[in-house]
């Protein structure tokens, strides 16, 4: 167990905001997590992974907790599937690389997404037509009200688009300790999103898909190790068919995807069409290769980022009538 006081959070958030926390603690077991929750019971707490989907808007006057539990193991195997339990602190991309090496299908489309396994379940991360929920069979957690371990089924997690029960009524109640994924030994392809299929051989392996996804992401998105960002800043809106039809009548080339709950319109297209390309606020800027991303050009403040985000929302609303929702969480 590691506990530090008055620590800079600069290395712990991918937006590279130079704010601090009153306490930072890292735990290597469920027992250490229990101990920390008891010792700091009267203090606000925040659990983070790599800090890749949030924006610290100010110093955090509480304790930030991070899982150092980072192992994975097979817990069940059938003729067609393998169930892998991955601990919450394991970097998601490292896990996916291991699974691809094992020739297991299910998570390869999520390659190169920053973050750790526990946070990936909270956010239900997704890319190229796949979401984490598609492979999650169950989530193991510590119930903070009883300090006892528990298991939540996929259904109990109430996964939605970049959403889960852990972001709503279960916020603060459950601390994810591991996630169990159901992976296929047989090829299961999801290649029809974007130009992924065009970058692959006829019968690609998980590693082929992973490598193609990484190449595409690197061509469009900044490397968080080099340029501060939180990845996609806004969610792709899902609108009523009537709303989509009105936009299509004015913009026939508008890309869209039919969903069971409506029509999904790429937020990046809306942002670019609304004239937001190249917009800046202080040292925060709309990324030139992907307008869905806001980057920190070096010395951006939280206010710079929030001001720019609000300006983008206003311009998109004026252009389309659609109100963009943030994917990034403000702390």
Q: What is the pLDDT of residue 21?
A: 97
Question: Which tokens hold the place of 299?
Answer: 């010395």
Q: What is the pLDDT of residue 172?
A: 86
Q: 288 and 208, same structural domain?
A: no
Selected catalytic residue, list 88, 108, 138, 162: 162
Q: What is the pLDDT of residue 283?
A: 96
Q: 187 and 112, same structural domain?
A: yes
Alpha carbon distance 202, 195 (integer Å): 14
- Encode pLDDT of 123-179 as tens digits: 999 999 899 999 999 999 999 999 999 999 999 999 998 899 999 888 889 999 999
Q: 88 and 213, same structural domain?
A: yes
pLDDT at 260 over 90: no
Selected catalytic residue, list 97, 116, 138, 327: 327
Span 247-257, mean pLDDT? 94
Burial of 148 per CB tally in 10 Å (0-12, 13-18, 19+): exposed
Q: Which residues of the chain form beta strands (DSSP E)?
A: 2-8, 20-27, 45-48, 54-55, 60-67, 72-77, 81-87, 126-127, 130-131, 136-143, 148-153, 174-184, 228-232, 238-239, 257-259, 262-264, 280-281, 284-286, 293-296, 329-330
Q: 231 and 209, same structural domain?
A: no
Q: 79 and 62, same structural domain?
A: no
Concerning whether 219 is annotated as a catalytic residue, the answer is no
Instruction: Examine the fold and report which residue of 40, 67, 94 is the final residue of a domain before the chain moves on.
Output: 67
pLDDT at 36 over 90: yes
CATH number at residue 135: 3.30.465.10
Q: What is the pLDDT of residue 268?
A: 95
Q: What is the pLDDT of residue 8?
A: 96
Q: Is the dihedral of CA 44, 49, 50, 53 positive or negative?
A: negative
Q: 241 and 149, same structural domain?
A: no
Q: 144 and 9, same structural domain?
A: no
CATH number at residue 12: 3.30.43.10
Q: What is the pLDDT of residue 135?
A: 97
Confidence of residue 261 (pLDDT cuts 50, 70, 90): confident
Q: What is the pLDDT of residue 224?
A: 81
Q: 194 and 76, same structural domain?
A: yes
Selected catalytic residue, list 232, 281, 285, 320: 232
- Encode pLDDT of 106-136 as tens digits: 999 999 999 999 999 999 999 998 999 999 9
Question: What DSSP designation does 264 have?
Answer: E
Give the range of the structural domain holding residue 291, as residue numbers without chain letter: 223-330
Contact (CB, 8 A) for 137 and 180:
yes
pLDDT at 222 over 90: no
pLDDT at 194 over 80: no
Q: 130 and 243, same structural domain?
A: no
Q: What is the pLDDT of residue 58?
A: 96
Q: What percentage of the chain has pLDDT greater than the value 70? A: 100
Look over the chain and give the mean of its residue pLDDT values, rounded to a whole number.
94
- Write the CB contacts of 54 (distance below 8 Å, at least 6 apart in sequence): 13, 15, 48, 230, 328, 329, 330, 331
Confidence of residue 290 (pLDDT cuts 50, 70, 90): very high
Concerning whether 81 is annotated as a catalytic residue, the answer is no
Q: 214 and 99, same structural domain?
A: yes
* Residue 249, SS3 per DSSP: helix
Instruction: Examine the fold and report which residue of 204, 219, 234 is the final residue of a domain before the chain moves on.
Output: 219
Concerning whether 327 is annotated as a catalytic residue, the answer is yes
Q: What is the pLDDT of residue 235?
A: 93
Span 89-116, mean pLDDT? 96
Q: What is the pLDDT of residue 30?
A: 96
Model-level pTM? 0.87
Alpha carbon distance 312, 292 (integer Å): 10
- Encode pLDDT of 61-77 as tens digits: 999 999 999 999 999 99
Q: 323 and 242, same structural domain?
A: yes
Give the count of domains, the chain. Answer: 3
Contact (CB, 8 A) for 214 and 4:
no
Q: 200 and 86, same structural domain?
A: yes
Instruction: Examine the fold and report which residue of 36, 67, 98 is the final residue of a domain before the chain moves on.
Output: 67
CATH number at residue 322: 3.90.78.10
Span 38-60, mean pLDDT? 94
């Amino acid at each position: 167990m590691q506990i530090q006081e008055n620590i800079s959070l600069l290395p712990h958030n991918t937006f590279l905001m130079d704010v601090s926390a009153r306490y930072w603690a890292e735990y290597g077991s469920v027992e250490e997590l229990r101990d920390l929750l008891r010792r700091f019971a009267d203090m606000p707490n925040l659990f983070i992974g790599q800090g890749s989907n949030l924006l610290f808007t100010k110093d955090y006057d509480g304790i930030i907790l991070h899982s150092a539990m980072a192992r994975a193991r097979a817990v069940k195997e059938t003729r067609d599937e393998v169930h892998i339990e991955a601990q919450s602190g394991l970097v998601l991309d490292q896990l996916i690389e291991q699974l691809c090496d094992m020739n297991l299908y299910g998570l390869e489309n999520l390659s190169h997404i920053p973050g750790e396994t526990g946070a990936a379940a909270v956010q239900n991360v997704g890319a190229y037509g796949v979401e984490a929920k598609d492979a999650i069979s169950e989530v193991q957690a510590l119930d903070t009200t009883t300090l006892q371990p528990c298991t939540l089924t996929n259904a109990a997690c109430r996964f939605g688009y970049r959403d889960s029960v852990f972001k709503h009524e279960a916020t603060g109640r459950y601390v994810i300790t591991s996630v169990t994924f159901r992976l296929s030994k047989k090829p299961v392809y999801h290649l029809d999103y974007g130009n992924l299929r065009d970058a692959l051989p006829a019968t690609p392996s998980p590693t082929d898909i992973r490598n193609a996804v990484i190449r595409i992401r690197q061509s469009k998105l900044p490397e968080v190790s080099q340029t501060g960002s939180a990845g996609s800043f806004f969610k792709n809106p899902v609108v009523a068919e009537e709303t989509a039809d009105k936009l299509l009548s004015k913009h026939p080339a508008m890309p869209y995807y039919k969903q069971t709950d409506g029509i999904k319109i790429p937020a990046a297209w809306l942002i670019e069409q609304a004239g937001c390309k190249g917009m800046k606020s202080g040292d925060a800027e709309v990324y030139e290769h992907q307008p869905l991303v806001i980057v920190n050009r070096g010395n951006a403040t939280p206010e710079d980022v929030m001001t720019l985000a609000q300006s983008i929302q206003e311009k998109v609303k004026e252009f389309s009538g659609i109100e963009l929702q943030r994917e990034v969480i403000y702390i």
